[in-house]
Structure 1
Amino acid sequence: MNPIDLHACRVKPDKTMDLSAYPTTPPDALTQEDSTQWPERLHDLAEQLNRLQTILHAGQSRGLLLILQGMDTAGKDGCIRSVFTHVSPLGVRAEAFGVPHALELRHDFLWRVHAKTPAWGEMVIFNRSHYEDVLVPVVHRDISKATRIQRLEHIRHFESLLHDAGIAVVKCYLHISKQEQKKRLQARMDDPLKHWKVQASDFDDRKKWNAFMRAYEQALQETSTEHAPWYVVPADSKAYRDLFVSELLVHTLESMKLVMPQPQLKLSDYTLR
């Protein structure tokens, strides 16, 4: 199949962006024949990801943080399940960030986040993240413009600190259309096993769709940096979304030039009897 153009979906630093200019569906260049090859390609990428994660965990000299953001039903949970299905849970963990609780609100907004970032040898997935603090409060007008600007500056410095400490930061905005969200919300309402996922905020936030798009545009364009870039992932297709994220992770890990550590023993001195 044709390779995915990761660069085309990367948000350029300091460039005014319009999310409506980014597709929510796979590129037209991908043919129907290509899509039939996606499962096989995803399987190959899963094997590569597992191998690279093993080297990352063994070496314990670098770490990787994957940040997943998106509107409700964008597929953050599903993406994690699919992409990491064949990866050893050793050295991999997922962290979810909901509404801050009382203790967290008494600290700076990054306090609850920093302790959950990867250690060397770890791969960590953030299901939502510190970006919630420059999205929801902005849309609901709970913080001022000055506070938003200040928080975005703190985020840039925070991610620069992680990069300098050997943590690769990869950020994916799972981009779905309003029409696709409607289908997925309806599917949740129709499935008793998914009723627990439905919240009043899903419907309230949907009414503020345009305001959320503007908040995301501001956040993405102001925090996509050379060392912590944002990627706008077409997510109306769950299969293509998972393929894209898998390809991006493999590409990132390969670029980190990871190497297996030397054995602690001189193995030639030992024999099995």
Structure 2
Amino acid sequence: MEGRNLTLVMEFILLGFSDLPKLQGFLFWIFSVIYMVILIGNTLIIVITQVDPTLQTPMYFFLGNFSFLEICYTSVTLPTILMNLWTQNRRISFAACAAQLCIFLILGCFLLAVMACDRYVAICKPLYYPLIMNHKVCTRLVAGAWISAIPVVIVLAYQIFSLPFCGSNKVNHIFCDIHPLLKLACGDTSLNELSVYIDGVLFGMAPFVLILVSYTKIINAILKLPSATGRYKAFSTCSSHLIVVGLFFGSALIMYVRPKSSHSAGIDRILSIFYTIVTPMFNPMIYSLRNKDVICALKKLLIK
């Protein structure tokens, strides 16, 4: 690094959709509508799981918490994207960028694993379900899902933002994410990239493997049920969760676990839009349209 001028980076510029100047207004209104759908859809699920007596079960307790997480998860990135599209001022401070990355990573996928465990107990151990999944246990599981990643995320963010940044401060992405930031760092970032990869495997693959194991046992138990009606009902209670798991993990794991050589700004941007914006938009629809209890609760709420 000798003989090279280093500039202390105090802010970043999120390039976002700057390469599509003619579509700025269109994208703003599209993302605004999507954000409203996410807020309204997930808020409705939170409300009905709180006020409807028939939905006072562990499954809907987790669903309400998941909807709240989806609102927080989306609100970390979408308002910034909308502001950048509307004002064309794409600057974000160093501290705000670090905070955005931390919060985004903390709001990860552990709650989906908790929901899979809930379905496993409900289907594979139905007689013990009320005893095992009592309110105290459910509360602890949700709290653990929210805070378990905090220490690792803080260490990871510290490693990234303690790197020297030189040259360009333009982040070729729609929000402050790991790989676009590492591209701006000076010197050798191979250890940081290895750390990101390991964290991605541990905190991405571990919940995914737990979900796979749970559903392997669930499917095995369902297939042993004597009646076709019983098998259908059991599958229907799990299908919505499986669809959400596939949408989220499919795009997120491709984003963070694939080799560095396959990363490109365009592909990363599309994948990010999918698991940060598109999936949270469809989640309320998936859970409501495929769940008779939720539909009935919505109808009662709308009538009132």
TM-score normalized by the length of structure 1? 0.35
- Structure with bigger strand share is 1
Task: Give the structure, 1 or 2, with the largest relative contact order (CA under 8 Å, sep 6 or more).
Answer: 1
User: What is the TM-score of this pair, normalised by structure 2?
Assistant: 0.32
More helix per residue: 1 or 2? Answer: 2
